[in-house]
């Protein structure tokens, strides 16, 4: 008993002699706020939820998968009580080593697809197969690489392939008209505008290629060696300009015909602590609205820039993993930050200043 009392006494003496903790002076800040990790759901939304949409419009074609489609179709008509009419296989889909990443396009009552084995197909509106074409380049193994994009224009189907090619096919027969080799993977979506096909290759180069013969009109290199890791975006074009997003987070605006770079800007920089925020790819296709261009990257940022100068109008901490949609003076975007349903959201922000109007969680099965 005396031994226990002695130990207790010694411990108290040691504590009494120890130096007291120094309390640093200054204002106390929440660490999550100081480092920019604050919960965005707590943000107070002051904008009105009211939105004025143009009349609904029926769409009989879908030549391109891009943010720019929303400019011509801001309020698409959708039938009530939708149900499946038919379904057919387009070929190879997702597997352990591959992903089906190419969206179909629709024109003149034909549906065009590209499977994970680089096989292009055309179906009629009833699901009947019209033609099928293996686009694997000579000397390459079928299915070794997946990815690509489709667009239609000038009575041609333009196809990019991750093997590093862009091709022109006859949409009626699937026969190849021309082929152009790229310096990197053709894993993004091409855009046709006024006789030229615009695209970004996987090695962060922008291309303008003649739709008539496949010859290179011009090309430019983005600064840095980053490659497009997750992006399948398409360039944006207007009457004068073409806007390209690259794998290093850079945006380049060029004159459409000559390829002269008007300005460049960077979106790179991590926005939060999640893994996807380390990826700077311009994931969403840029969209030009009036004198402004809107761009989002994979690290959680969407920006509005003046298309003629690159001057930044605003930046919002939303980001997007898919294309943007412009309607009713609002910008709509989807943000998939992980496979968890709790972190996937739809956002709506004001087109003029980027203020968030609402966000809604997306439940994924």
Contact predicate 292/71, CB 8 Å: no
Q: Residue 317: is its pLDDT beyond 90?
A: no
User: Domain 56-76+89-221 belongs to what architecture?
Assistant: Beta Barrel (2.40)
Strand arrangement, sheet containing 110-114:
105-107, 110-114, 119-124, 129-134
* pTM exceeding the 0.75 threshold for the entire prediction: yes
- How many percent of the chain have pLDDT more than 90? 43
pLDDT of residue 314: 94
**67: closest CA among 338, 348, 332?**
332
Q: What digits encode the pLDDT tens for the residues 148-177?
A: 999 999 999 999 999 999 999 999 999 999
The more confident residue out of 136 and 273 is 136
The more confident residue out of 163 and 44 is 163
Mean pLDDT of 275-280: 46
Q: Residue 36: is its pLDDT beyond 80?
A: no
**238-365 and 56-76+89-221 share a CATH fold:** yes
The more confident residue out of 319 and 311 is 311
Mean pLDDT of 188-210: 94
Tell me the DSSP string of 6-71. HHHHHHHHHHHHSPPPP---S----HHHHTT---GGGPPP-S-----PPPPB----B-B-STTHHH
Question: What fold is seen in the domain 238-365?
Answer: Lipocalin (2.40.128)
Q: What digits encode the pLDDT tens for the residues 114-140?
A: 999 999 999 999 999 999 999 999 988
> How do the domains of the chain map onto residue ranges?
56-76+89-221, 238-365
Q: Residue 301: is its pLDDT beyond 60?
A: yes
Mean pLDDT of 204-220: 96
């Amino acid at each position: 008993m005396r031994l226990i009392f002695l130990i207790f006494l010694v411990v108290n003496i040691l504590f009494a002699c120890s130096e007291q903790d120094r309390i640093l002076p200054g204002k106390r800040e929440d660490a999550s706020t100081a480092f920019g990790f604050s919960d965005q759901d707590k943000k107070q939304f002051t904008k009105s939820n009211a939105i004025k949409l143009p009349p609904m419009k029926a769409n009989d074609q879908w030549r391109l998968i891009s943010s720019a489609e929303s400019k011509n179709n801001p309020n698409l008509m959708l039938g009530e009580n939708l149900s499946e009419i038919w379904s057919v296989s387009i070929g190879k889909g997702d597997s352990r080593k591959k992903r089906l990443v190419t969206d179909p396009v629709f024109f003149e009552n034909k549906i065009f697809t590209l499977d994970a084995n680089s096989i292009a197909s055309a179906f009629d509106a009833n699901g009947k197969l019209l033609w099928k074409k293996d686009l694997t380049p000579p000397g390459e193994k079928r299915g070794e690489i997946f990815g690509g994009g489709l667009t239609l224009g000038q009575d041609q189907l333009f196809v990019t392939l991750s093997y590093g090619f862009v091709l022109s096919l006859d949409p009626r027969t699937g026969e190849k008209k021309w082929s152009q080799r790229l310096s990197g993977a053709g894993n993004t979506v091409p855009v046709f505008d006024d006789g030229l096909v615009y695209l970004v290759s996987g090695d962060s180069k922008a291309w303008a290629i003649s739709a008539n013969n496949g010859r290179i009109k011009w090309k430019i290199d983005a600064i840095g060696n980053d490659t497009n890791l997750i992006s399948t975006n398409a360039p944006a074009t207007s009457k004068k300009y073409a806007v390209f997003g690259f794998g290093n987070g850079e945006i380049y605006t060029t004159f459409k015909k000559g390829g002269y770079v008007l300005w460049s800007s960077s979106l790179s920089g991590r926005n939060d602590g999640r893994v996807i925020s380390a990826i700077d790819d311009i994931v969403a296709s840029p969209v030009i609205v009036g004198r402004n261009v809107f761009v989002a990257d994979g690290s959680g940022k969407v920006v509005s820039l003046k298309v003629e100068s690159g001057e930044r109008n605003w930046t919002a901490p939303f980001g997007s993993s898919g294309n943007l949609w412009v309607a009713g003076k609002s910008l709509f975007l989807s943000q998939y930050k992980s496979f968890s349903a709790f972190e996937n959201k739809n956002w709506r922000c004001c087109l003029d200043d980027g203020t968030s109007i609402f966000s809604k969680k997306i439940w994924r099965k």
